[in-house]
Amino acid sequence: MDYANIEKKWNEKWERDGLYRFDEKNLDKKYYLLEMFSYPSGLNLHLGHWWNFGLSDSFGRFKRMQGYNVFQPMGFDSFGLPAENYALKTGIHPEDSTLRNISVMENQLKNIGGTFNWEYELITCKPEYYKWTQWLFVQLYKNGLAYQKEAPVNWCPSCNTVIANEQVVEGVCERCGTEVIRKNMKQWFFKITNYAERLLLGLDNLDWPQKTKLLQKNWIGKSIGCEVDFKTEDGQNTLTVFTSRVDTIFGVSWLVIAPEHPLLSKLVTPENKANVKEYVEKAAKKDEIARSSTNNEKTGVFTGTYVINPLNGNKVPLFVADYVIASYATGIVMGVAAHDERDYDFAKVYNVPVVQVIQPLNEGKVDLPYVEYGKLINSGEFDGLTSEEAKIKIVEKLEKIGAGRKKVNYKLRDWSVSRQRYWGCPIPIIHCPKCGAVPVPEEQLPVLLPRIHDYKPEGEGPLGKVEEYMSVKCPVCGQNARRDPDTLDAFVCSSFYQLRYPDVHNDKQIFSSEKINKICPVDTYVGGVEHATAHLLYSRFVTKFLYDLNLINFDEPFKRLVHQGMVLGSDGKKMSKRNGGKTADEYVNEFGSDALRLTMMFSMNYVDGGPWNDEGLKHMTAFMDRIDRIVSKWASLDGENNSQLNRKEEQDLEYARAYCVKEMTESFEVFSFNTAIARLMELVNAMYKYDKFELKNNVLAKNVALDVIKLIAPAAPHFAEELWQNVGEKYSVHNQKYPVYEKSKLIRDSVEVVLQVNSKIVARMEIPSSSSNQEAIDFAKSNEKIKSLIDGKNIIKEIVVPGRLIKIIVK
RNA sequence: GCUGGUGUGGCGGAAUGGCAGACGCACAGGACUUAAAAUCCUGAGAGGGCAACUUCGUGUGGGUUCAAGUCCCACCACCAGCACCA
């Protein structure tokens, strides 16, 4: 069979026939399968695309043959940095390069032979899509979840531009190598922090990889503790600290305030002003990396101010130090040298007292710092309590005297969405000197992105230079106003796309129909783990927000998530053009897409990924030939039941088929494609084994052959279709039911078990499958070898694992 | 540093606590062929033995169990995420 050449024919026919069309009228058995859409950031699909799209398409085909109405739309995440960088590199306008790349990629994706529902295609950089991105922004704004504030951005002084976090590599600009500095600019934020608790709780019910849930959990970073108010000595100011270890409060020897803290200037005494000023300026210059590095020695200076511990009245000094982060919790922390690593380091340098207030429950001696829980000492009325008890009692006391309260903090920060870039969704906000920030009225959306040619990033939104874009009347008061010159982070575009697919052609409303509630949420979502704390978190936030607006009736976007591993070069390193990676198309042209898909499926574990080796393609082609030969032969047997096989042989063949069907079904379900193909190889091997009987007429053999075609159809769709036609069956194999197995066929008359004496294998024997445990032991004892080993010895124990082993322990 | 994950033949990789290495590659032998390729069949973890057989084997060291790649403890190596979050 000429694998590469049959594919075009079938692709065309399937498309003509609309074979895989999604049936909107039959939503009860819908299955929404989605792969993370790709950036049109280059021209050629590489093996990674195939790994993602091709293999999950096989999963979709499998579901389809099981009778599901599979919805598997496809689109392009076409705004944002990857597309813009490609444009900057090639000098072609982003709109042109993006649309051209999309059309090339569409064709290549069609070559996969996927069952994608192209009628629902969406492209995020098109106005009919980004209208809804802007609509989402407006809804968030109206509900108080989009706001503007001064915030630091990454600034490259050499390129004279703001750059994204992903473009900062080890503190320097990825393009020119200049050290990146932080600069404050007015930015839009989405208040994802309002949803921190729900984003955390929702994880429990998701069928997602543990790893990913944990990444999100740590990213959200919930910390339960309390706030404690320390008054300054003069009673003029209150400094509130957050601590998760209030049980150590009697060990507080100092307080530390962050250099950027707004209260700081008020708290510095005149004689310390110069020192503190110098320190704060130095800290501001340090970039994030240097400041956050752990082996960094603790530094800080005394502010001259003393504060009073509300529980024991102790007077302790206030320091300023850059190991405290202004933006987390209150920006002030208490220093307990005996029970915190960082505080201990600080105390060593500044020679402040170390007071132990916790000891281990066994009262043994400890090396400080001791950060575990234990029993309180040197803590006045709380002595003797455990840390857990003390936390409760101390908060109660603090609340009683009005000096503290329970508090929960999260590491999660609000989502920064402003980008000083051209190639993105325009922010639908008008800044009016009188009315302030006013959202563009919904009926005026979309705000179109103007086509301009001077779009190089220069620190401010390039749109700011386009007067006809910027100049606008305020929708509220009608006065002259200005548009927002920035565009939205592309993650905004992708935060709801899966909701848009089902009703993508409706340009009046986004959540108009029952369709969305019926088709969504996504049943299985396939994509890389690298989006764990970005796209996958943002989508969950947006879905919960839309749920709160009563627009949808579910509050999680993706029920089940599967991460595909990474395809590596044959040297085990990341694939690149340099180490000779061919494009996917080159493989397809030479071997055909089915061989490529099968090879990928078989040679690596889907979740782990692994090294890719061209060799595999040759072998897979040989396997396909092998199937072709035996299946063609067996399927052409006429269906008279005139078997040359005896009962045992028939049973074994039935067993081989049933076992293969069972295992393949289970493997496909969990994306374990490599073992699925292995099981199919076993069945094919079994067919060759029985082929030596020169079968002439055999119903069983014919059915096995037809089943093999169906079983391989999801993995090698063109090959299976061709084979199906060649053996004279009616088009199309893809409309056949996926084979099911009869449980009874998995039971044969007899089964081989292992006989062990004292955990050593001494023999094997065939015993009837129906044997009870006692009968099995009796069979074992009748074995000559066993007899000789247990004769005259005490039998301590007899163990039977049905169908597997019989073990006798003797002494 | 913290948190997770991984570690199995020459290679890719399999194994609900129950025959380690499924399936495949590379390898060796055989059949077919004038020959080669292709195909079909057989063998194969490592060491020792002519052989029946035997010893050792899932990163290292301990433990639990009739039985451990799998569970527990400690350690080593690599990978990923977070990175002073009080």
DSSP-assigned states of every residue in A428-496: -EEEETTTEEEEPPGGG---PPP--S-----SS-GGGG-HHHHEEE-TTT--EEEE---EE-HHHHTTS
Residue-wise pLDDT tens digits, A146-174: 999 988 777 777 777 777 666 666 666 76
Residues 6+ apart with CB under 8 A from A634: A687, A691, A695, A698, A701, A702, A704, A705
| Closest residue, by C-alpha, to the C1' of B39 | A626
User: From the CB of residue A475, how many other CB atoms can be counted at a distance below 10 Å?
Assistant: 15
Largest Cα span, chain A: 107
Could you tell me the two tokens for A767? 């015993």
Q: Indicate yes or no: strand B within 7 A of the C-beta of A207.
A: no
Percentage of residues in chain A having pLDDT higher than 90: 69
Q: Strand B: which residues 547-586 of A lie within 7 A (CB)? A: 572
- Closest C1' nucleotide to A346's CA: B84
Nucleotides of B under 7 A from a protein CB: 1, 3-5, 12-16, 18-20, 22-26, 38-42, 66-67, 80-86
Cα–Cα distances (Å) from A558 to A208, A527, A541, A618, A669, in that order, read 9, 12, 12, 38, 17
**Is residue A45 a contact partner of residue A585, using CB atoms and an 8 Å limit?**
yes
pTM equals: 0.93
Helix (H, G, I), strand (E, B) or coil at A60: helix
Q: Indicate yes or no: strand B within 7 A of the C-beta of A672.
A: yes
Q: Indicate yes or no: strand B within 7 A of the C-beta of A244.
A: yes
Residue A713 has phi, psi (to 5 degrees) of -55, -45
Helix (H, G, I), strand (E, B) or coil at A724: helix
pLDDT score for A276: 94
Could you tell me the two tokens for A83? 């597309």
Q: Residue written as tokens 């992903």?
A: A166
pLDDT of residue A103 exceeding 80, the answer is: yes
Residues 6+ apart with CB under 8 A from A534: A491
Q: Which of A30-39, A398-407, A511-520, A706-715 has the lowest mean pLDDT?
A: A511-520
Between A170 and A332, where is the model more confident? A332
Could you tell me the two tokens for A38? 């790709």
Q: Strand B: which residues 761-780 of A lie within 7 A (CB)? A: 761, 764
Torsion region of A663: left, alpha or beta (phi above 0 gives left; psi -120 to 50 gives alpha): alpha
Q: How far is the CA of A658 from the C1' of B68 (A)?
A: 31
pLDDT of residue A616 exceeding 80, the answer is: yes
**Is residue A591 a contact partner of residue A4, using CB atoms and an 8 Å limit?**
yes
Between A714 and A367, where is the model more confident? A714
pLDDT of residue A373 exceeding 60, the answer is: yes
Residue-wise pLDDT tens digits, A462-485: 999 999 999 999 999 999 999 999
Torsion angle of C-alpha atoms A788, A794, A800, A806, degrees rounded to 10? -20
Q: Indicate yes or no: strand B within 7 A of the C-beta of A293.
A: yes
pLDDT score for A741: 95
Could you tell me the two tokens for A465? 């230079």
pLDDT of residue A532 exceeding 60, the answer is: yes
DSSP-assigned states of every residue in A23-39: -TT--TTEEEEEEPPB-
Residues 6+ apart with CB under 8 A from A446: A127, A128, A130, A131, A134, A426, A428
pLDDT score for A169: 64
Residue A797 and residue A758: Cα distance in Å, rounded? 10
pLDDT score for A508: 87
Chain mean position to CA A722? 37
Span A425-453, average pLDDT: 96
Mean pLDDT across chain A, nearest whole number?
Answer: 90
Q: What is the CA radius of gyration of chain A?
A: 34
Helix (H, G, I), strand (E, B) or coil at A683: helix
Residue-wise pLDDT tens digits, A18-67: 999 999 999 999 999 999 999 887 778 888 899 999 999 999 999 999 99
Cα–Cα distances (Å) from A702 to A224, A452, A637, A733, in that order, read 66, 65, 6, 16
Q: Indicate yes or no: strand B within 7 A of the C-beta of A666.
A: no
Residue-wise pLDDT tens digits, A163-207: 766 666 666 676 677 777 777 888 999 999 999 999 999 999 999
Q: Strand B: which residues 719-758 of A lie within 7 A (CB)? A: 752, 754, 756, 758
Q: What residue type is assigned to position A736 of the chain?
A: Q
Cα–Cα distances (Å) from A232 to A20, A252, A337, A382, in that order, read 72, 15, 21, 24
What's the burial of A742, exposed, middle or buried (CB within 10 Å: 0-12/13-18/19+)? exposed
**Is residue A651 a contact partner of residue A750, using CB atoms and an 8 Å limit?**
no
Q: Residue written as tokens 């704390």?
A: A533
Residue A781 and residue A787: Cα distance in Å, rounded? 6
